[in-house]
Chains A and B, each alone.
Chain A
């Protein structure tokens, strides 16, 4: 068969479908256009200082959005990440200020405490929504309240501060003008990209998002894969808590309000389908950049923060409408 010999000569990995490349290229072009626009119309946009600013500003959202990508890929949603981040930060804040530890131990303890808290919350989200096949929208809405309440309870509604100096240093450290915390986020993106594209686990997450029943009938435990996706999302909320603490040197129980919406926006703008099964974490990276560049550039251009918020909203809607047409014309 001629068609088969043709494919024989092109040992092309299955993961790079033309559609995915085009999709990311489109978002990349949009980002490039934004950057060009702001570079031309503002004086300070394309300065090293401002670029450092943007990278710093998008870091937390990017970290949360990486985890959110996993959940949205399986057709779920996690509304609790902002609250879970605050809860994890408060728990870690309590841990880091425990008396009797050296700075290194205290920091290690805080990192473990934050990630464990995030993982636990994410796992609870996953277990409940997967076991009873309930909409994750509702379950994580519940967790949003639980985690926020827990954060306030644990902290006694007080902001926790006076962290070790080394922690603060980590938060503001730079390598060639690039914030170290942003490199942490970028590292997470790379790990997520690898997991989603090169592992059986990632393959099956895409499969579940597309056709859960087919994956189940092929003998895979859909339940555990779903729990894992939510757990990953909780884990990144824990990492976001550490970044937040290192950046601001406080743990506030009212941190992260509304962060879940920005994370979801980054994922959706990045081209991941809300119904699951389609999208990429590279898209999420670009989506987080688009939100960050817009926020930064619109302020520089002299628009009020309220206008910025309105325009970000418009971008989200435009992204989803575009996605509708993309889905319509690429799948027959």
Chain B
């Protein structure tokens, strides 16, 4: 691994930038995805882009690869103005992206996938299979996959090999800049090593590699320079040899944010044990051993971690949505097994899902119908709906959360994001849950409604409800939680108590820098 970074590091002072981005901005409606990004790529370097989820890395990649146009700022590639109208133009100009999600056609052969963008044809305009297979062979050999049959369907490959096929497809076209978007997310250690060897060899050919990763150790193993993003802004570029993982984490967090009150809520006293997870392992968890932790009544426990760390899966597993592979859930000391959400709800558990549009709400139906969705028994008698009872309860539930609406019979889709989220909350509060699971409870919610939702959740904890909150927003967890569990790769990397709360500590654990951060006190 170290070999790659030992190769001649270009000195930025000597070589002019190959691609330079200056003051790049991109807005989606009112949302600033990029709000001033400036950095440059040198010919033949490996350049890392790092930042929290939502910092703007993905948007930048999509702009560079021609998926989105940009609003303002400038990009120049080899001295020319760079403004690709679509991904095809970007590829023509030598900018290739290997996406995080696979873009392979499962039922076609590896060779067909590799050539899909430009199929070789014979004189008569027919597909030249021999040429196609020959090219694919060359492409696979180039990345060391000599033992893979190019005629085999992609569906016969494992995930790691698919990633490598995707890379070989990108390499097959002559590229100047190769962007790898979290290429190691699905790879095992051995394959990661192979990928690093491949990166080293492409780099030796003078290709610039952009490496997006959540793993700082990988960044420090193979990259020459690193640019840090935060909230749509590029914070700065450092040479790897001039910085440390801690320095990068500090830049990602931003110093000014680190000051949050670490004092516990005096009115909140954790009571009896609500749930205990014992080596709890869902089917989505590739690891042998699961996670174990306790949740008490009157307590808010936060779960932090990067996307894909397995946070949502834990909530879904507890709620009986996803099957459990091994391990146990204990409720008040007794083992429970939920065969579906119905059982979990009967046991007094509620689940505010991450995506309110797909999982939380029935957008075209009235507010009242949504609020009573999990509580139909209370608003009906022998299967008949009691409309006045439903409306009364819905209005009460709405008033409790300061829900702003026209009529209780209006469709939920007429509400703002924050009020929609309150409807999801009201739906579960209507059942007076003893345990409430929340997944990104304030995603897409404006600041005012956020504060209101925090107040509601804290109030619930004071009333003795046990809350388990998954969030990507660290200030949110630090505001709400009594304890934060940090997850990485389906394992709890550490637990932070309020005095230990800081974005740095969370990020260190989330990025697997566990050892140093673990016992460190403020």
**Chain A residues at the B interface, C-beta cutoff of 8 Å:** 1, 3-4, 6-8, 10-17, 198-201, 203-204, 206-207, 210-211, 213-221, 277-278, 331-332
Contacts and interface: CB of A to CB of B under 8 A. Distances in A.
Contacts of B411: 17, 331
B406 interface: yes
B37 interface: no
A231 to B, nearest CB: 16
Contact of B404 (A1, A13, A17, A216): A1
A4 B408 CA distance: 8
B336 to A, nearest CB: 15
Nearest to A332: B413
A6 B409 CA distance: 12
A198 B376 CA distance: 12
Interface stretch (B77-85, B144-152, B379-387, B493-501): B379-387
Contacts of A3: 404-406
Contacts of B366: 14, 17
Contacts, number: 115
B407 A10 contact: yes
B321 A210 contact: no
B387 A13 contact: yes
Given A199-B383, A211-B358, A217 B408 contact: no
Given A3-B404, A12-B407, A214-B373, A219 B341 contact: yes
Interface residues of B, number: 46
B166 interface: no
Given A217-B353, A219-B374, A199 B384 contact: yes
A4 B395 contact: yes
B362 A211 contact: yes
Contacts of A278: 364
Contacts of B70: none
A13 to B, nearest CB: 5
B361 A214 contact: yes
B409 A218 contact: no
Contacts of A7: 395, 405-409
A60 to B, nearest CB: 30
Nearest to A3: B406
B390 interface: yes
Interface string B327-371: 000000000000011101110000101000011111111101100
Contact of B373 (A198, A215, A221, A332): A215
Interface of B: 319, 321, 340-342, 344-346, 351, 353, 358-366, 368-369, 373-374, 376, 380, 383-385, 387-388, 390-391, 395, 398-399, 402, 404-409, 411, 413-414, 427
A14 B398 contact: no
A207 B362 contact: yes
B341 to A, nearest CB: 5
Contacts of A11: 388, 391
A14 B387 contact: yes
Contacts of B358: 211, 213-214
A316 to B, nearest CB: 23
B218 to A, nearest CB: 35
A4 B398 CA distance: 9
Given A218-B373, A331-B413, A200 B383 contact: yes
A216 B398 CA distance: 23
Given A12-B407, A214-B360, A221 B376 contact: no
Given A13-B409, A14-B368, A219-B340, 9 more contacts: A11-B388, A17-B411, A199-B384, A203-B369, A207-B373, A217-B321, A218-B341, A218-B345, A277-B362
Contacts of A211: 358-359, 361-363
Given A211-B361, A217-B351, A8 B395 contact: yes
Contacts of B374: 218-219
22 contacts: A1-B404, A3-B404, A4-B395, A4-B405, A6-B406, A7-B406, A7-B408, A7-B409, A10-B407, A11-B388, A12-B407, A13-B409, A14-B387, A14-B391, A17-B366, A199-B380, A199-B385, A206-B365, A211-B363, A215-B362, A217-B321, A217-B351
Contacts of A217: 319, 321, 341, 351, 353, 359-360
Contacts of A216: 321, 340-341
Contacts of B364: 210, 277-278, 331
B388 A218 contact: no
A10 B390 CA distance: 14
A10 B387 CA distance: 13
Contacts of B409: 7, 12-14, 16-17
B268 to A, nearest CB: 28
Given A4-B399, A199-B383, A14 B362 contact: no
A327 B330 CA distance: 47
Query: Which one of A6, A12, A221 has the highest number of Cβ atoms from chain B below 10 Å of its Cβ?
Result: A12
A105 to B, nearest CB: 33
B413 A219 contact: no
Nearest to B352: A217
A10 B406 CA distance: 11
A69 B340 CA distance: 29
B408 A218 contact: no
B492 to A, nearest CB: 25
A213 B373 CA distance: 12
A198 B365 contact: no
Contacts of B340: 216, 219, 221
A3 B383 CA distance: 31
Contacts of B373: 207, 214-215, 218
B419 to A, nearest CB: 11
- For the complex of A and B, list the 9 residue pairs with the smallest distance between their C-beta atoms, beginning with the closest: A219-B345, A218-B374, A219-B342, A14-B366, A218-B373, A7-B407, A14-B409, A13-B387, A210-B362
A198 B341 contact: no
A198 B379 CA distance: 11
Contacts of A198: 384-385
Contacts of A203: 369, 376, 385
